[in-house]
Structures are given as C-alpha cells and as structure tokens.
Amino acid sequence: MRPIWTIGRAIRFAILSAGALVMLAPYIWMISVSLKPRSEIFNATFELLPEHWGAVENYTKAMTRIPMLTLLGNGAIVCAAILLFQTVFAIPCAYALAKLRFRGAEPIFALVMMGLLIPVQTTALPIYVVFSDLNLLNSLSALVIPFMLSVFAIFLFRQFFRSMPDDLIHAARLDGMGELGIVWRVIVPNAWPAATAFAIFSVVAHWNDLFWPLIVITRMPLATPPLGLIFFQAAEAGDDYGALMAATTIVTLPLVLLFLFAQRRFIEGITLSGLKG
C-alpha cells in the first residue's frame, strides 16, 4: 500500500505542478520582460534573466510616463467603495433569504440566481445614457454606482449563512435583539471567511475591469489601473514592451499581495465551512 500511495501522491504533485506552471507562465514572462532592455526582448534565444539589466529604466518609465500612483489610488478608492456598498446591501438580504421565513423567499432567490446570468455588457448602454443625462461621466461615481449591488454577494453570503446554526440566532432573539441587531452583532462577526472570499472576488474583478472604465472615463487623472495601461501604451506608441510589462507588473502586484495576505480566509469562505471556533 505504501508504494502505491507514494506513486499516487507523486502523480498528483506532478499534475498540480504542471497546472501551476501553465498558470504562472504569463506572469513569469511578464516579470522577465520587465527586467530586460529593449534589445533583448525579441532575441532568438529566450532566457528568463537578462544579460544586461533594464529594470531601472523600465520601472522608472512606468512610474513617470503616466501618474501611476494616481491610477493605483483611483483603483483602490473605486474597489473599496464598491466593496463597502456591496457588503452593506448584500449581508441583510442574504440573512433574510437564509434565516427568515416569509412568503416570496424562494421566488426572490430565483430572481437573484437569474441576476447571475445577466452579463454587465447588456446593461452598459442604458446605464451610460442615464449617466450622460445626469452629467456623471468622467467621475469616480460613474465607476462605483453601477456595481453597488451584487447578486453574487447575496448568493455567496446566503449559502454561508445557511450553514450557521439556528440556535445562535434563537439565543440572540431570546436576549431581546432585533433582526438588524442580530445581523450586525451576531452574523457579521462570524461571516469573515465569506466576507474575505467575496472581497477578493470583488476587488480582483473591479481592479482588472477595463470594459466599463473605457466607456465612462476619458481623462487620465480619473483612470483606473487597466485604463492607465491603455494610456501608457498609447504614449509609448506600443513598442516599448519592457516598460509596458513593468507597468503591468506594478498594477498586478497589489492583487497578488492581497491574495497572499488573505488566502486562508479566502479558502475558508470558498468551502463555506461555517462557524470557526
């Protein structure tokens, strides 16, 4: 049994390693190119490490050719505002669908599931027209308002809350708490795994979003990081790939650090493991 277990374990490790390498290959190439001078990027022989380092020049261009710190700040503000509103709206809705018994709960949840099937592109045009009439284009509000409500957040929190014991909620009611008090003083403190998992999904989605900012933002000072890369490429005429990859590395780094910081809670939330002692 021991050799069979060892062989099986080695096979699984090899498959996972190959999959990880395939997923990481674009990022490895991105970092490698960001370290090279322009003359080495399209060499016939590919090497990860450059013969002559161009990292200082590339990263200096990435930080100075466009207001990189402003772009990162815009991305952080937009993602934080969207996440705040989505969480505030989703948690009470999810609690009601998971723990309260009322007529219409199932049809409402069916509508939530239907909302997951509607792509953002289908509502872009009417939202754009409304924002144009309200003079909200070229503003951070135009980047935040369409995403303040997330049906995915309602679904994720609802599934997580269903795994929480009803006795905890009954005890809170016996202590005289109202439903809102139960939500914010009992449910929320125990929902950190699901909240962390959703936070990563939300931040990654809106940090990387190019479709909507490209429609409503035309001014560099209001651009998000992906849109800033478009402006950077236009400024560089699209041929300075070392500097472009350096800018892309800078834009990607906050997401990598976020995931590494919150990966344990993220896994707990995804597995919907319920209350932790």
Tally of domains in the chain: 1
Is 243 within a domain?
Answer: yes
Is 84 within 8 Å of 151 (Cβ atoms)?
no
The SS3 call for residue 48 is: coil
Is 64 within a domain?
Answer: yes
Cα distance from N-terminal residue to C-terminal residue, the chain: 36
Is 184 within a domain?
Answer: yes
Joined together, the tokens standing for residue 195 give 């909240």
How far is residue 165's CA from residue 82's CA, in Å, rounded to a whole number?
30
Q: Match 């979003």 to its residue by tokens.
A: 209
pTM: 0.85
DSSP string, 55-80: HHHHHHHHHHTTTHHHHHHHHHHHHH
Confidence at residue 175, expressed as pLDDT on a 0 to 100 scale: 83
How far is residue 140's CA from residue 137's CA, in Å, rounded to a whole number?
8
Is 277 within a domain?
Answer: no
Domain of residue 205: give its range: 35-270
How far is residue 194's CA from residue 43's CA, in Å, rounded to a whole number?
47
Is 200 within a domain?
Answer: yes
Is 9 within a domain?
Answer: no
Q: Residue 12: which H helix or E strand, with range?
A: helix 2-34
Joined together, the tokens standing for residue 55 give 């990292």
Is 15 within a domain?
Answer: no
Q: What is the pLDDT along the chain (277 residues), one digit of tens a residue?
A: 455 557 878 888 889 889 888 988 889 989 999 998 888 887 767 778 888 888 899 999 889 888 999 999 999 999 999 999 999 999 999 999 988 888 888 899 899 889 888 888 889 999 999 999 999 999 999 999 999 999 999 998 998 888 888 888 888 888 888 888 888 888 888 888 888 889 888 999 999 999 999 999 999 899 999 999 888 876 655 568 888 899 999 999 988 888 787 776 666 655 554 434 3
Is 17 within a domain?
Answer: no
Q: What is the CATH number of the domain that holds 150?
A: 1.10.3720.10
How far is residue 262's CA from residue 200's CA, in Å, rounded to a whole number?
8
How far is residue 223's CA from residue 264's CA, in Å, rounded to a whole number?
32
